[in-house]
Structures are given as C-alpha cells and as structure tokens.
A and B are shown apart, each in its own frame.
Chain A
Amino acid sequence: MKLKQLYVLLMRLAERFQMVQLVIIFLALFTGAAKEATVVFSEAAALCIQNQYLHHGLPSPNLHMSSEDYNLVSSRNFGSEDVSPRKLKHTQGNNLRGIPGNHHGAVVLSGAASQPQNGGPSNMSFYNTPSPMASQLSGVAPPPLCRNMQPNGSNLNTVNTDGSPRSIVNSTIQAPRRKFVDEGKLRKISGRLFSDSGPRRSTRLTGDTGANTNANTAAVAGNGTNNSSKYLGSSKLSSVAPRTVTVRKGQSWVNENIEEGIRNEAFDDSCANVASTTSSSFSSDNVRSLDHDGATVLVGGVVVSGAKAVSGASEVLCLLRTLGEGYRLSCLYRCQDALDAYLRLPHRHYNTSWVLSQVGKAHFELVDYLEADLAFSLARQVSPYSLEGMDIYSTVLYHLKEDMKLSYLTQELISTDRLAPQSWCAMGNCYSLQKDHETALKIFHRAVRLNSRFAYAHTLSGHEYVALEDFENGIKSYQNALRIDSRHYNAWYGLGMIFFRQERFEFSEHHFGMALQINPCSSVIMSYLGTTLHALKKSEDAIKIMDRAILADRKNPLPMYQKANILMSLEKFDDALEVLEELKEYAPRESSVYALMGKIYKRRNMHEKAMLHFGIALDLKPSATDVATIKAAIEKLHVPDELEDNLSTE
C-alpha cells in the first residue's frame, strides 16, 4: 500500500524531469531486474538524482559529472548518487538494502572501476530487484532510504570538495543498513528500519566489512593525521546523518522523500559543520546513535552497522597511530617519550607481546634493566613463542647477571625456533656470561650465518672478539654491523671501546660521540665519552659530561666513579672524596670505591684513613689483581707516590 503510494509519487516526479534518460538506461543495463521494476525504479532513481541536484542547486555539470562518474572510475560520486535514489527506494527495497551491503566490500575493494557498476545495481536494488549483480555492486552502499537525496546531494558537494574517500565511506556505511530481506520484514520493522537497524545479518556483516575496508581505505588514502581525522569525521558524519535521519523518518517514511531529503540535508549540513571536530567525539556520537540503532535491530544478533564500522575503523586507526608514535619515538631513542606513548594505549593493547617487547627495549635503551626485565617477561607470558626482541631480553639478563633465567630463556628460544638468529644470540650471551668467550663467539657466528643482515649478531661477535683481545676481528665485526645498520649505536660504542683500549683517543672520542648522538639517553656512553675526553686532556668537558650522565640516570654509579677518577687525576682530592662518599651510599659493597678512596687518602698522606679504606676494600673480596694492588699499596703506605706508581703498573 505504502509502496504503491510511493510509486505513484515517484511517477509524478518523473514526469517533471527529463534528465533521467541516461540514468535509466545505465541502470537498466546494469541490473537484470524485471522490466517494470526497472522502469519504475529507474525513474525514481532519476528523480532522486534530480532532486538531489535540485535541492542543492547543483548545476547540470554535477549531474553530468555524476553520469560521468557512472562511466568513470570515481566511485565516490557514484556512491553518493546511488545513495539518493536508494534512499527513495528504501521503503520499497528491502532487497536493495541487502544488496548494497554485500557488494559493499566487494565493490570497494575492487576499486573505483567497479563503483559505477555499483551505483547502477544499487539503484536497481532500490527497485526491489534482488539481482545478484546489484548486490555485488553495492560497494557504494546506498544509504538508508530514509536518507534521501539531500544528504547525498550534500555528500556529493562535499565529495566534490573534499575527496572521494568520504563518499565512499558514506556509501559503504549506508550499504549495510539497506540489507533488508523481504517486504514483510520491512513492514514489520519499517519504523526501526530507519533507525538503521534490521539489515540482514549476513548482508550487514559483509557490508560492514566492506564499510570497514572502505573506511580504512578512505582513511589511509588521506595522508597525514589531518586527513585521517577529517575522513573519519566525515565518515562518521555520514553515518550519523543517515541514522538521525532514519530516526526522524522512522515515523514518517511515508512522507515525501523530498521532505526527508530536506531534513537530511539540513542535518547533514549541520553534521558537516561538526565534521571538523575530533574523531573521538564523532565516535562517541556514533556509538550513541549506534546504540540507539542497535537496540532496534531485529534481524540477526550482530549489531553491525555502517556507523559502527566507521567507529571501529577510527579506533583501529587511533590505535595504529599510537603504536606508530611509540615506535617512531623509540627509533629516535627518545625512550621516555616512547614509553609515555605506549602507556596511552588501552590496557588490552598494551598487554600484547609486540608492545611489551617495545617497552622492554625502551627501558633497555634507558639502561633500566630491571624494568626491561619485567616488561620482557610479561611479553613472554603473553606470547611465549614470539622471538622478536628476545635477543635484547637476553642482553638484559646478561647485564643483570641472571644466568639461570638466561639459560632458561635460551632453551625455550632454541626449542621454539632453531633457525632464528635471536635464539642463537641468546645462547651466545649465555656462554659469554659464563666467560666462555670462544664458544660464545662460535655461536654468534652461527647466528650471523643464519641471517647475515641481523646487525646485533655482528655486534655481539664483536664484543666477544674484544673479550678475547682480538681487536682486528672485533673492528671488522663492528664495521659489519654498522654496514647493515648505521644507527646501531652498540656497534659505534664497541668501536669506541676498541680504540680506547688501543689508546687512539681521538678515534674513540669520535665513535663514542656518534653513539651518543644516536642514543642520547644512555648514561653509560656518556661516562665513557667523559673518560675519553679526560684522556684527551679535555677535562672540563669530561666533567661536564659526567655530570650530565649522573643526572641522566641516578641509578648508574659509574659516572660518579669516573668523575672521582678524573678529579683525582686533576688533583682535586676533596671533590673526588666528596663524590666517592656519595657513591658509598649508592653501592656500599663495591671494593673499588674504597680502594680508590684509600688511594686518595694515601696521596693526601692521611695514612690511617687510607689503611682503613684499603682494609675495607680487601674485605669486599676484589679480584686477585686488585688484591695484589691493594696489598702492595698497603705495604707501601709510607713510600712516596712516585715509587709506588712505578711498582704498581696496570
């Protein structure tokens, strides 16, 4: 009954307009619908299009453009155009709804070329012709019928101005909603239909995926965050608009479409104004309207609608943006900022293996090994078979001297994947921790053979060569690592250390400087740079860098120790003693601190204090060499320093 009324209305409208011929023919070509339906619907479609243009005062070029669009590849315009006619037919075409949704995904994915086709069939679907073609073509999902041409018109406008993604998104969003199966159901849920519910579950699902992909492609197409937010906003806009329209129209879908169109248009415009707001607000709007819509879904249990797809897409993009931000910052070695970025992730995304490994890596770069250990062990709990980042974890355990954990990790990694370089790096670290440098070297070579582009394996074999005092091969290995990855600051550091040992201090300063440039937050590199500068007699710079290192990481006792060393050689004994006193608090069981203090007291000729400190140093069980040194120092307490130094050569 209602359908008939609509038919009549449409016919009347069709009489007034003549531009529909092209459209009708096109639609007829695309859809294999029944003749009468074709005729009627084509007219109605033409009507819609013309109304659309009418309302927006679009000059014929628009229509021309739209017809061109049909022929051209630009799916966007097509989408919007399809929307309008479809909207008109919304009441009639349950099938129409079904069709667009399905084809949504197919069409969008297949690209613009298919769009025109989509437009056609979708329009046809309007006309209650459940032709498979039509459904397949609904890449540009026609918006809910309640949403008349007006929004389409505005969409078209915006499409013309903004870009295709939006219209694509619009159409895709709307497609799922149009998937009503049969007229009976349509009547039953007509009121709710317009509230954007009721699409058949399968169609909704397919349409949703299509919408998702559409939205994603739309967002992706827009380079840069501005674009994405804009597109998201626009997509949301479109999703919101139809919904609200549908709601409004729910009550009066019998009314003339033009009126609805007007309302839609108005709403759409207002929505367009809001489009500039952030996506989050949109998503919340969407969510709200989605909920409203979702509540009225009769068909199927999945509340999948275009708007929800859009909000989902925007959430995904938000998530990806945060992840990318964190990764970018950690590549820049701005580790604290990277950690903050990762913390902004929602909880269940934070607790994934990749994110946790990245967090662990960031802590590792900050020389915060305990936190890194925590993060990595969480990552292993979450995903015990992931190998990425596990080489860094093995290094963390090496630094913490946790040989049992390290060997356990190695066993697990080897049993997970025997051919991954990370597992062998872990094993090499294990042997290196046991001071078996030759075996460790062999294993790192194995890791290199497994993947010669794995820079860290080269760096680690360089470390082993240095431990074996084979500096030539060490330099070669570090240079290999740098050839693969010139931002691998460990290799720069390794080269700096070799040159430092060889007393080529200028080279060493350059390399430490490069390492520090890449990773400016590592206090260890800073302290080594300081000692190098001191060796180059640039002691003021050395002290400055030491202070920087001390500030950078208060838990690192080394810069203070080195600073005391420098001060002692500069003969600023009091300052040195001050620093060492502070250091005593940090590391009370470090014999070298007491040994150094004893040495300083000896230089100041405060023999009792020197004796005391040497005694404490000995009690703390230093290495055999140091025992010898300290005992010698004790015995020579009353001998002038020159003689002492001659005897106690390093």
Chain B
Amino acid sequence: MATESSESEEEGKITGGNQHLIVEDDLREMGKKAAWSVSSCKTGNGVSSLRDDNLETYWQSDGAQPHLVNIQFQKKVKLQVVVLYVDFKLDESYTPSKISIRAGDGFHNLKEIKTVELVKPTGWVYLSLSGNDPRETFVNTFMLQIAVLSNHLNGRDTHVRQIKVYGPRPNPIPHQPFQFTSREFITYSTVR
C-alpha cells in the first residue's frame, strides 16, 4: 500500500521534547521484532541500554562520527514514527544535534529519508517518517539506520537514552480490505 519513495532531504529543526511518550492508538512499537546494532559503544553503555525502557541508562558511542544505530527486520515492515529520548541538560556535549534517518534493504542499499536538527532537546523527540503524499504515510523497508552526524557543542561521542520505532497496527481481521471504525462493527468483529 505505501510506496517506497525516497524522500528528498528535508531540513527541519526540532527544539524541546516531550516529557511523556504519547503515540496514536493505531501505532504499535515494532522494535521488538528487529535486530539492533550500533557502530561503536563504550563498555557498559551498549546497545541494550537503548532498548531497556530505562531513561537512566544510555548508549555511549566510542568511535568516529557518524555514529550509527542499525535496526534490521526479518521482513519488510511499515514504519511511521521514530522516537528518541535525548536530554541536553544531562548530556550536554553528548547530546546529538544532527540526525539522519536512512532506509533500505541492507547496508548496501540505504537511502536517506529524513534529516533533522535538534536544538537542545530534553525529552522524547518524534521523527515522523511519512512523506507529504498520503500514500507515503509509511516507509516499507527491511532496515532502518539512524545516523548521528554531529553533537551539541561539537562533542565527539553521543549519548542516546532510548529509541522506539512505531508502525501501524495490522488489521485485526485478516483478509479484510478495510479496518472497522464504528463500535458496532468492532464489537461483532471477533469472538473472544
């Protein structure tokens, strides 16, 4: 349904950040089905800190820029939103500043779909992957790569505390062309 269009580079500045993670009801977290890897990390601050639902722990990179977080799925999935938790007050020069999101079939095939600049963010930052075209609400891809191109205050390494990836919920009723919206339909749609 959604096409795999590669978006043109879109520069956007995002300031601030939400304290609470709120996503729409028809989205669900897709990260559990993916393999997460990072380009480099300091001992004790590895990739697992990105997925532990703990905002105290963070991933700290330990190499050259750009620092990469790779998310690989076993099959093509539709993704709509990427959410990061970064905090300038805590991390200062470790806080990412420029972030590029790439998608593709694998490492050889990644294409940038979004670029964004963060300005002193504190909290959850939402990065929507949708394009302008309504048909491009989702990115249908095998792999997603989040690249931290630069940090605040020109820091070398970066701290990211949490990353979540969201995609649409599948139709609860299989082989249905459209999902049901009204209560009458939903009530009768399944047996529980």
**Residues of A in contact with B (beta carbons under 8 Å apart):** 367, 369, 395, 398-401, 429, 435, 460, 463, 467, 469, 489-490, 493, 497, 500-501, 515, 522-525, 531, 535, 555-558, 561, 565, 586-587, 589-592, 595-596, 599, 617, 620-629, 631-632, 635, 647-650
Q: Which of B27, B28, B189 has the most CB of A within 10 A?
A: B189
| Contact between chains at B174 and A557 (CB < 8 Å) | no
Q: Decide yes or no whether B43 CB sits under 8 A from chain A.
A: no
Closest 4 CB pairs of A and B: A592-B178, A631-B134, A590-B182, A501-B174
A200→B26 CA distance, assembly (Å) = 75
| Contact between chains at A435 and B25 (CB < 8 Å) | yes
Counting chain B residues whose Cβ lies within 8 A of the other chain, the interface size class is 35 or more
Residues of A within 8 A of B181 (CB): 589-592, 620-623
| Contact between chains at A398 and B177 (CB < 8 Å) | no
Q: Decide yes or no whether B80 CB sits under 8 A from chain A.
A: yes
Within 8 A of A (CB), among B137-192: 137-138, 168-172, 174-192
Given contact pairs A435-B169, A535-B175, enumerate 19 new A-B contacts (beta carbons under 8 Å). A369-B187, A399-B192, A493-B191, A523-B188, A524-B191, A555-B188, A589-B181, A591-B178, A596-B177, A617-B178, A622-B179, A623-B181, A624-B24, A624-B27, A628-B134, A628-B137, A629-B1, A648-B1, A649-B1
A429→B1 CA distance, assembly (Å) = 32
Residues of B within 8 A of A631 (CB): 134-135
| Contact between chains at A557 and B184 (CB < 8 Å) | yes
| Contact between chains at A463 and B192 (CB < 8 Å) | yes
Residue of A nearest to B183 (CB): A401
Residues of B within 8 A of A501 (CB): 174
18 pairs from A and B in contact (CB 8 Å cutoff): A395-B192, A460-B192, A501-B174, A531-B175, A555-B188, A556-B188, A557-B188, A586-B184, A620-B182, A623-B179, A624-B168, A625-B1, A627-B137, A628-B2, A628-B136, A628-B137, A629-B1, A631-B134
A556→B189 CA distance, assembly (Å) = 9
Q: Decide yes or no whether B3 CB sits under 8 A from chain A.
A: yes
B2 to chain A, nearest CB (A): 6
A535→B175 CA distance, assembly (Å) = 9
A330→B28 CA distance, assembly (Å) = 39
A556→B187 CA distance, assembly (Å) = 9
Residue of B nearest to A489 (CB): B191
B33 to chain A, nearest CB (A): 8
A278→B192 CA distance, assembly (Å) = 44
Residues of A within 8 A of B189 (CB): 524, 558
B135 to chain A, nearest CB (A): 5
| Contact between chains at B191 and A622 (CB < 8 Å) | no
| Contact between chains at B137 and A624 (CB < 8 Å) | yes
| Contact between chains at A628 and B135 (CB < 8 Å) | yes
A369→B190 CA distance, assembly (Å) = 13
Given contacts A557-B184, A587-B185, contact A625 B172 (CB under 8 A): no
Residues of B within 8 A of A620 (CB): 181-182
| Contact between chains at B185 and A650 (CB < 8 Å) | no
A621→B179 CA distance, assembly (Å) = 11
A605 to chain B, nearest CB (A): 19
Residue of B nearest to A435 (CB): B25
Residue of B nearest to A628 (CB): B137
B82 to chain A, nearest CB (A): 16
Looking at the complex, which one of A367, A395, A621 makes contact with B188 (CB distance below 8 Å)?
A367
B87 to chain A, nearest CB (A): 26
A557 to chain B, nearest CB (A): 6
Given contacts A490-B192, A590-B184, A626-B179, contact A469 B170 (CB under 8 A): yes
Residue of A nearest to B138 (CB): A628
A624→B191 CA distance, assembly (Å) = 25
Given contacts A401-B183, A592-B177, contact A627 B192 (CB under 8 A): no
| Contact between chains at B187 and A625 (CB < 8 Å) | no
Residues of B within 8 A of A621 (CB): 181
Given contacts A395-B192, A625-B1, A631-B134, contact A500 B174 (CB under 8 A): yes
| Contact between chains at B187 and A401 (CB < 8 Å) | yes
A258→B174 CA distance, assembly (Å) = 86
A493→B26 CA distance, assembly (Å) = 25
A319 to chain B, nearest CB (A): 33
Given contacts A587-B185, A647-B3, contact A596 B178 (CB under 8 A): yes
Residues of B within 8 A of A369 (CB): 187
| Contact between chains at B134 and A398 (CB < 8 Å) | no
**Residues of B in contact with A (beta carbons under 8 Å apart):** 1-3, 24-28, 78, 80, 134-138, 168-172, 174-192
A401→B190 CA distance, assembly (Å) = 13
Residue of A nearest to B80 (CB): A624
A561→B187 CA distance, assembly (Å) = 14
Given contacts A469-B170, A524-B191, A628-B138, contact A622 B178 (CB under 8 A): yes
Residues of B within 8 A of A635 (CB): 135
Residues of B within 8 A of A463 (CB): 192
| Contact between chains at B191 and A490 (CB < 8 Å) | yes
A508 to chain B, nearest CB (A): 10
Looking at the complex, which one of B175, B179, B192 makes contact with A625 (CB distance below 8 Å)?
B179
Looking at the complex, which one of B1, B27, B182, B192 makes contact with A587 (CB distance below 8 Å)?
B182
A467→B170 CA distance, assembly (Å) = 9
A259→B21 CA distance, assembly (Å) = 97
| Contact between chains at B168 and A625 (CB < 8 Å) | yes
| Contact between chains at B177 and A599 (CB < 8 Å) | yes
A531→B78 CA distance, assembly (Å) = 26
| Contact between chains at B26 and A623 (CB < 8 Å) | yes
A367→B188 CA distance, assembly (Å) = 8
B21 to chain A, nearest CB (A): 13
| Contact between chains at A565 and B134 (CB < 8 Å) | no
| Contact between chains at B1 and A632 (CB < 8 Å) | yes
Given contacts A500-B174, A628-B1, contact A590 B180 (CB under 8 A): yes
Residues of B within 8 A of A429 (CB): 192
Residues of A within 8 A of B172 (CB): 467
| Contact between chains at B174 and A497 (CB < 8 Å) | yes
Residues of A within 8 A of B185 (CB): 557-558, 561, 587, 590, 592
Q: Which of B80, B183, B191 has the most CB of A within 10 A?
A: B191
| Contact between chains at A650 and B1 (CB < 8 Å) | yes
A620→B179 CA distance, assembly (Å) = 12
Residues of B within 8 A of A592 (CB): 176-181, 185
Residues of B within 8 A of A596 (CB): 177-178
Residue of B nearest to A595 (CB): B178
Residue of B nearest to A515 (CB): B191
B5 to chain A, nearest CB (A): 12
A599→B2 CA distance, assembly (Å) = 18
Residues of A within 8 A of B184 (CB): 555, 557, 586-587, 590
A622→B26 CA distance, assembly (Å) = 10
A317→B78 CA distance, assembly (Å) = 63
Residue of A nearest to B186 (CB): A401
A281 to chain B, nearest CB (A): 46
A469→B167 CA distance, assembly (Å) = 14
Residues of B within 8 A of A399 (CB): 187, 192
Residue of A nearest to B177 (CB): A596
Residues of A within 8 A of B180 (CB): 590, 592
A490→B78 CA distance, assembly (Å) = 31
Residue of B nearest to A501 (CB): B174
